[in-house]
Amino acid sequence: MTSAANRFLQGLSPEQRTTASFALDAAERTRWNFIPTESHRREGLQIKAMSPAQRALAHDLLRSALSPGGYLTANAVMELEAVLRDIEGAGARFVRDPEKYFFSVFGTPASRGSWGWRVEGHHLSLHFTIVDGAWVATAPAFLGSNPAEVRQGPRTGLRILAEREDVGRQLVRSLDQAQRAVAIISATAPNEIVTNAKVDITPLTPVGIRADALRPDQRSLLMHLIGVYASLMTGELATARLEALRRAGLDAITFAWAGGTEPRERHYYRIQGPTFLIEFDNSQNDGNHVHSVWRDFDGDFGRDILREHLSSVAH
């Protein structure tokens, strides 16, 4: 990741490098969002402003953090802007552009010390913090899809985030009546993920059904669903995420659902553990517009690893 970030920066002109670079402690590092509106002005170097060679280096940086499947999914989110542009037509409220995504580097990429980077645009916001070339924080990690299912045109049937939706529905539909009474927290799905784009988050209530109240097959489904989110990252980073969950206690992880349980019905779910939160919402556009995110209560933007680093290393 460090090597890829340095190659990316070295491939830019001085002016581009200035646009893409920020101090690690800059307020910009924790500014984030996933909306298309111009009222949230994004900083960083836009793909549109890069040459083909520079774009290749930017994508190499993205590949350094994501699994092959995760990289394809991130690219599909960006490419879906062209599909959305065709669906909305000339009267669209927002500019839909697959090249309107921004790369930003915070601090100096090096094997010692702390630095970070981000790629962000509509429905994609990925954040990484690296300390001493070994510790990596990978949250917030947001993916969205509009439409959730393409229902017209040459790409009809495309569902970029299908597994996140289908496994969640499979889990809630596997619950018996008593379990559903605990897990289903509302008959109506919220219109947005509850945490939205907040910088600081705390555990949400009500929490839903605990993992230790699930049958073995249901618990396997829950871990499969968590794994779908973790597998966005490289194998090494995904393993580290899952190990952190195990250390914090799998029994205390909860699953909550709101809304309908049939396909194409508006719905929402959350998975919450002692250290992390996953949210999935498919309620906008009559249940055809997904927002999903992984948050870490202490680890977003690398807060935990930076604290540990600062307390253990003389500066």
pTM for the whole structure: 0.95
* Residue at 187 is within a domain: yes
**Residue located via tokens 């569902």:** 159
In a shared domain, residues 11 and 127: yes
In a shared domain, residues 125 and 175: no
Tell me the C-alpha to C-alpha distance, in Å, between residue 288 and each of 165, 278, 284. Answer: 11, 19, 6
* Residue at 112 is within a domain: yes
| Residues 266/281, Cβ–Cβ less than 8 Å | no
* Residue at 311 is within a domain: no
CA dihedral 170, 237, 67, 221 (to 10 degrees): -10
* Residue at 286 is within a domain: yes
**DSSP-assigned states of every residue in 160-172:** TTHHHHHHHHHHH
In a shared domain, residues 167 and 282: yes
Q: How many domains does the structure of the chain reveal?
A: 2
In a shared domain, residues 125 and 167: no
In a shared domain, residues 275 and 228: yes
In a shared domain, residues 127 and 208: no
In a shared domain, residues 185 and 129: no
* Residue at 46 is within a domain: yes
- List the chain pLDDT tens, one digit each, 315 residues: 999 999 999 999 999 999 999 999 999 999 999 998 765 678 999 999 999 999 999 999 999 999 999 999 999 999 999 999 998 887 777 889 999 999 999 999 999 999 999 999 999 999 999 999 888 999 999 999 999 999 989 999 999 999 999 999 999 999 999 999 999 999 999 999 999 999 999 999 999 999 999 999 999 999 999 999 999 999 999 999 999 999 999 999 999 999 999 999 999 999 999 999 999 999 999 999 999 999 999 999 998 888 766 666 555
* Residue at 59 is within a domain: yes
Nearest to 69 by CA among 171, 142, 163, 167: 163
In a shared domain, residues 172 and 252: yes
| Residues 62/71, Cβ–Cβ less than 8 Å | yes
* Residue at 263 is within a domain: yes
In a shared domain, residues 166 and 134: no
Write out the residue range of the structural domain in which residue 219 sits.
162-298
Q: Apex CA 294: angle with CA 280 and CA 156, to 5°?
A: 45
Nearest to 293 by CA among 192, 170, 222: 192
* Residue at 121 is within a domain: yes
In a shared domain, residues 32 and 99: yes
In a shared domain, residues 16 and 111: yes
In a shared domain, residues 121 and 230: no
Instruction: Using the 3D structure, point to which of 107, 139, 171 is the last residue of a domain.
Output: 139
